Structure 1
Amino acid sequence: MKPSEYAELDATALAAMIRTGEVGDAEVLQAATEALEAVQPAVNALVSGPWDTPLDHAPDGPFAGVPFAIKDLIAHAAGVPTRSGSRLLGAGVPMPTDTHLVTRFRRAGLATLGLTATPELGFNANTEPVATGSVRNPWDLHRSPGGSSGGAAALVAARALPVAHGNDGGGSIRIPAAACGLVGLKPSQGRTSPGPDYGDPLLGLGVEFVLTRSVRDCAGLLDAVHGYEPGDRYRLPDPARPYVEEVDAGSRPLRIALHTEPFSGHGVVDPRCVDAVESAGRTLEALGHHVERAAPAVEAAAFDDANFIAWCSFLADGIDIIGAALGVTPGPDQLESTTRACAEYGRTLRAADIYAAERVFNIVRRTLGVFHQQYDVVLTPTMNAPNTAAGYLNADDPTLDARGWYDHIFSTAGFTALSNVTGNPAISLPLGTTEENWPIGVQVMAPYADEATLLGLAGDLERALPWQDRRPGTVVG
């Protein structure tokens, strides 16, 4: 198999070819290795790999032999050094065990060939850590791939991998999916296990899954890895039928709320992003859905204050734990300027501040829950703009204090954090294109635990507004 042939296939197609013997898994892994080596100099998205031998994986899993990579943040594999995008962890600290999700990736048969880049400790909508350098967007190497799963997105967009792991605490799967023209699903809180390291990462905002090029890959991977692990705080009901069947079946007629003003109250929305959402709304109306302008009444200032507290407290806690474990006092040589500022602010917070943030989150969750009694899904832009320039979100900028950094990030992404706070599933789909040929992401958000409706509708949109033939400027073959 040539790398150019490999690059045309999604994970579902590759798995089928390996399963039927049409191609050997060793051939696929060789093609993937050559593809990764070809695009890495341009996009700088791998921080480890491609490895000569993939991590152990089940030979009979539904995606047996399909090349894969793990984001170097939160998830980890036994014996593989992790760095979390930070100089604080030096060359990387080997982890003693798999996280539960990595174990499920192995059972699914995914053949992990490396680790992808993340911004320092994940708090950025860009991926340019001082530790490993700038990741570039395959659609335009002067633009950002988004973050914090920017390394994963760059490799999937360049077709060096069909699928890659990501995580999402404020949009970190959906933002790079939008910037790189991919499918990015943030599942419901509890749909994938955060264990054993976490119960509620980032006060419940953080969720892990993957980035893909096709909706069927997204659904198939969710079928393969969702589910409860002993000790998890949440135990969601299993889907009534496999998610891949929802994609094939499509959606029933839905009541759809269309909204184009940022929930966070930050930033100006590019008219091209508004146009992409409105065009998608017209397509959905033509498919028989009822679409109207509406939005849940979220009090933006309170929402931002609470989200800011969640992020800074999480960073402070994580940095203090790492510093104590390694016996170091983190300073400018170990941490970027805004990371230090956020951690310093986080250390000033009291228990009362955390509880106050949770009270706001409770109000937001219940507001959206009531709203979804009237509307089945919410349709918005994913980002305020199609993408951002490389260097625009500079986490090592000494002029920004903690709140200045938070506001700077969410001025580019005012739509994604809402579903992290509420726990609802949300997906970004590449439904628009700019005059520069950059992709534009459109977000759909569904009620809590209702990935079935979300993926059925995503399948309809993929068929009505296909994106598979679009190619970035930097691509395998």
Structure 2
Amino acid sequence: MHSIHSLLDSHDGYGLAELVRKGEVRPGELLEAVIERIEQVEPQLNAVCEKLYDKARLDAQSASASQGTFAGVPTLIKDLFSPLRGALMTNGSLACGEVRADFEAEVVTRLRQAGCVFAGSSTAPEFGTSYTTESTRFGATRNPWNTEHSAGGSSGGAAALVAARVVPFAHGNDGGGSLRVPASCCGVFGFKPSRGLMPSGPLVGEGWAGMGTPHAITLSVRDSAALLDVTAGMDLGAPYAAPLHSTSYLAAAQGPARPLRIALVEHLDPWPSSAESLAAVRHAARLCESLGHSVEVTRLPVELPVFLDRVFDIIGASTRGYIDMLGQMRGQPVALEELEPRTRIILRERGDIGGARYAAAVDWIHALGRAFAAFLQDFDLILTPTLTREPPRIGELDAFDERLSLAEVMEQFHSYSPFTALFNATGQPAMSVPLYWTAAGLPIGAHFAGRFGDEATLLALAAQLEQAQPWASRVPPVNARQGGAVN
């Protein structure tokens, strides 16, 4: 008889749920093992916002083997605009106080209905506007490959916990790379669905003019696809919806990958990719070619500084709207002193733009989506580095100096991640695949983007890459494994 820990070591979430359905494992056993694993690595990683063990134990007791695709599988919900009933709703900020949600996000409800048990919430930076998970409220979330380095952001807590083998998958969301950046930093799989594929309700119709979307960080491609099957699709009152796959995303991931035409983009002016980043993306390109795909070096039809200027018009206005709403909800305006310097810089320079300027920014990113759709008439996918360099050290990336200009903050973040936000703006699905580790032992992901609504092609390729170069056997120094091999 295998121990519970060896099963967690050797199975993804889909596989664990199969054991629950067969009666070989009880949800409560899985939960207690995950709690042990959280306690084992949390002192080194600082990836958990709030532990919800007592409520999770009650949920595990009532979980049934027939409950759903992920019956009895423990996971965590990211503490960022994803309310979980009864849990703290801090959004990484001191300004949110100790408020607890009395409702939950639709994506959380769908995960619950699929059988997931929520052991806690995972960390995020204030309001998700950073590519590293460091905040005044919670401190720094650390990378399990080297705790002196960042786990990425803004779903850094989720990525660190999955990489450290605490849970097989964890919920996150992505408005400019917030699933894919931490997946790259932590050597796991991060997938961003198309605009409108995932539910954003019930609180809002869309985040950041449609650039934001929930999904998950996973160890296996299979879990990512199966999670899409149980969460994708418009929710009540959604303003629009992307098309669902004709069969299932899991079937797409398990089917054969057809030969693809892949556009390789190695850098994006004005910021170069490092030698390690180029080595990572060229390694991915060679692997794709060895699997029968064609790869052509090309350039993207975008001027990055102009793009970022429009994006921060949207982020600035949206942040102001949220801060105003927060003040109304708590009955007292939010003082600037309650916010981190990065947020104050964004508000200072873009928080008070007019409606016409905001509308022009939205029109501009929609036009960019049209341009990228035309570009992909000649290619099936776009391949870029996920990041221009390896994960930075803690404290290196995030700006805690209000004297900086927004242009300096943009350069600090987007010289590190110039590619990911493009595909939030265009609405295209995109993923970071863990295929390369630097000489220092830090991961750098390969980033692929597909046509709008074509998650299936990306998932089929990801599964093919996973089979050709399995990454689950690569385990970071900080980990919760108790022995066994991932199958």
Of 69, 78, 86, which aligns to 1:79?
A: 86
Matching residue of 1:61: 68
Alignment of 1:94-109 (within 5 A): 94-109=100-115
Aligned-pair CA distance for 1:340:
1.3
Q: What amino acid is the match of 2:429?
A: P
Of 245, 248, 251, which aligns to 2:251?
A: 245
Alignment of 1:291-310 (within 5 A): 291-310=295-314
Aligned-pair CA distance for 1:230:
2.2
Aligned-pair CA distance for 1:348:
2.4
Matching residue of 2:44: 42
Matching residue of 2:484: none
Matching residue of 2:139: 133
Q: TM-score, normalised by structure 2?
A: 0.94
Q: TM-score, normalised by structure 1?
A: 0.96
Aligned-pair CA distance for 1:5:
4.2
Aligned-pair CA distance for 1:2:
4.3
Structure 2 residue 360 is matched with structure 1 residue 360:
no
Q: Any unmatched runs of 5+ in structure 2?
A: 482-487
Structure 2 residue 231 is matched with structure 1 residue 225:
yes
Judge which range, 326-335 or 388-397, deviates more.
326-335
Structure 2 residue 311 is matched with structure 1 residue 325:
no
| 3-state SS of 1:167 partner | strand
Alignment of 1:12-31 (within 5 A): 12-31=14-33
Aligned-pair CA distance for 1:293:
0.8
Assess if the C-alpha contact under 8 Å between 2:265 and 2:300 holds in 1.
Answer: no
Identity level (%): 39
Q: Any unmatched runs of 5+ in structure 1?
A: none
Q: What amino acid is the match of 1:46?
A: V
Aligned-pair CA distance for 1:4:
5.0
Distance in 2 between residues matched to 1:413 and 1:272, nearest whole Å: 14
Of 168, 183, 206, which aligns to 1:177?
A: 183
Assess if the C-alpha contact under 8 Å between 2:151 and 2:182 holds in 1.
Answer: yes
Judge which range, 400-409 or 15-24, deviates more.
400-409
Judge which range, 293-302 or 59-68, deviates more.
293-302
Aligned-pair CA distance for 1:53:
3.1
Residues 363-417 of structure 1: CA deviation (Å, up to 9, x unaligned):
2111100011110000111011121111112342223233322321111101100
Q: What amino acid is the match of 1:299?
A: E
Aligned-pair CA distance for 1:34:
0.2
Judge which range, 267-276 or 65-74, deviates more.
267-276
| 3-state SS of 1:81 partner | coil
Distance in 1 between residues matched to 2:424 and 2:197, nearest whole Å: 13
Aligned-pair CA distance for 1:247:
1.6
Q: What amino acid is the match of 1:149?
A: S
Of 341, 345, 352, which aligns to 2:349?
A: 345
Aligned-pair CA distance for 1:362:
2.2
Residues 278-310 of structure 1: CA deviation (Å, up to 9, x unaligned):
121122112111111123311223211101111
Matching residue of 1:286: 290
Assess if the C-alpha contact under 8 Å between 2:191 and 2:217 holds in 1.
Answer: yes
Matching residue of 1:115: 121
Distance in 2 between residues matched to 1:237 and 1:90, nearest whole Å: 38
Of 468, 471, 474, which aligns to 2:475?
A: 471
Matching residue of 1:88: 95
Aligned-pair CA distance for 1:169:
0.5
Of 11, 14, 24, which aligns to 2:13?
A: 11
Matching residue of 2:460: 456
Distance in 1 between residues matched to 2:113 and 2:154, nearest whole Å: 26
Q: What amino acid is the match of 2:91?
A: S
Residues 238-284 of structure 1: CA deviation (Å, up to 9, x unaligned):
2122111112213111111011113xx35331211211211211221
Assess if the C-alpha contact under 8 Å between 2:174 and 2:192 holds in 1.
Answer: yes
Residues 63-108 of structure 1: CA deviation (Å, up to 9, x unaligned):
01101100001111222221000000113x1222111111101111
Assess if the C-alpha contact under 8 Å between 2:7 and 2:16 holds in 1.
Answer: no
| 3-state SS of 2:53 partner | coil
Q: In 2 relative to 1, CA 473–450 (structure 1 residues): closer, same or farther, beyond 3 Å?
A: same
Matching residue of 1:441: 445
Judge which range, 48-57 or 126-135, deviates more.
48-57
| 3-state SS of 1:475 partner | coil
| 3-state SS of 1:7 partner | helix
Q: What amino acid is the match of 2:41?
A: V
Of 312, 315, 337, which aligns to 2:316?
A: 312
Q: In 2 relative to 1, CA 362–333 (structure 1 residues): closer, same or farther, beyond 3 Å?
A: closer
Assess if the C-alpha contact under 8 Å between 2:74 and 2:118 holds in 1.
Answer: yes
Aligned-pair CA distance for 1:40:
0.5
The two structures, once aligned, show a CA RMSD in angstroms of: 1.5
Distance in 2 between residues matched to 1:184 and 1:298, nearest whole Å: 24
Structure 2 residue 161 is matched with structure 1 residue 155:
yes
Aligned-pair CA distance for 1:199:
1.2
Assess if the C-alpha contact under 8 Å between 2:13 and 2:168 holds in 1.
Answer: yes
Assess if the C-alpha contact under 8 Å between 2:197 and 2:243 holds in 1.
Answer: no
Q: In 2 relative to 1, CA 268–105 (structure 1 residues): closer, same or farther, beyond 3 Å?
A: same
| 3-state SS of 1:185 partner | strand
Assess if the C-alpha contact under 8 Å between 2:14 and 2:70 holds in 1.
Answer: yes
Distance in 2 between residues matched to 1:300 and 1:340, nearest whole Å: 23
Judge which range, 206-215 or 272-281, deviates more.
272-281
Matching residue of 2:216: 210
Aligned-pair CA distance for 1:333:
4.0
